[in-house]
Amino acid sequence: MIGYMEERLRKFQEQYQNRGRLLINCPDAPGIVATVSKFLFEQGANIIESSQYSTNPQSGNFFIRIEFECPNLKEKAEEIENSFVVIANTFSMEWKFTYASVIKKTAIFVSKELHCLRELLWAWQSGDLVTDICLIISNHEDARVEAELLNIPFYHVPANKDNRSSAEQKHYQLLEEYDIDLIVLARYMQILTPNFVRRYSNKIINIHHSFLPAFVGAKPYERAYHRGVKLIGATSHYVTNDLDEGPIIEQDIHRVDHRDNVEDLKKIGRTVERNVLGRAVKWHLEDRIIIHGNKTIVF
């Protein structure tokens, strides 16, 4: 399977070798779109997708994501970025260019519940998630078979409140060894230390089995059942050191009623969880997310 996926990624890189993306966050002002569009035109680029948002045209922030094609982009990328600095400084921009041919490397953390992991692996195999899944890390052995079936390196790293520091040292070693760009917590039921979160700021995506901000923390389905909710949901968000309060990427819900017990809620919730996490990871990989404070703009 690894050979097949490597070939698929190679073909993707070849097909999209001239595809670039530009993300901008800056104070709103007249002329931003015109200036950026003119700049890309002068580089020989053709804009194929552009999405923008302003919080307030008079005094707010402006966000834009542009996807473009440019001949010989790999050779021209450094020159383009250096030339863009003048425009960025003029409009006080936070900005970045990314390139579709640079495949992000992903690590998946999981515990005993495997439905989110399986969704990610299926989307990866089908080509919906364009990434290199380099390894799967778990504090249990349950996911080993899933990994080995696809020849993905699997690492069992026991982790609990008593050995958290030593476990994270092993995590650091593995993440650096594989040069990981993105960490996905696919129902990884361990709290990460502040140092770990800071080290991978805005690079850790979690799925919480609750429609945040309701039912933060453990056992949300049990608490939702006792509260008598009529809607259950799931939330995918970037991890910060405030438990389950990082910038939200995606959410969804499903209607339930008094006939549904806790196990029914969990069963329904698993479908919501895996779909929400899959979409959030896909949007991150496609550079569709701009983080602004504790919110996200998703194009």
Residues known to be catalytic: 244
**Two tokens at 262?**
């806790």
Contacts of 200 (CB under 8 A, 6+ apart): 175, 183
- Pairwise CA distance, residues 13 & 262, whole Å: 45
- Pairwise CA distance, residues 213 & 28, whole Å: 30
Contacts of 217 (CB under 8 A, 6+ apart): 243, 244
C-alpha distances out from residue 7 to 1, 80, 101, 177, Å:
10, 29, 13, 22
- Pairwise CA distance, residues 175 & 109, whole Å: 11
C-alpha distances out from residue 9 to 13, 280, 281, Å:
6, 20, 17
Pick the closest to residue 119 from 265, 1, 281, 242 (CA basis).
Answer: 281
3-state helix, strand, coil in the chain (%, to 5): 40, 25, 35
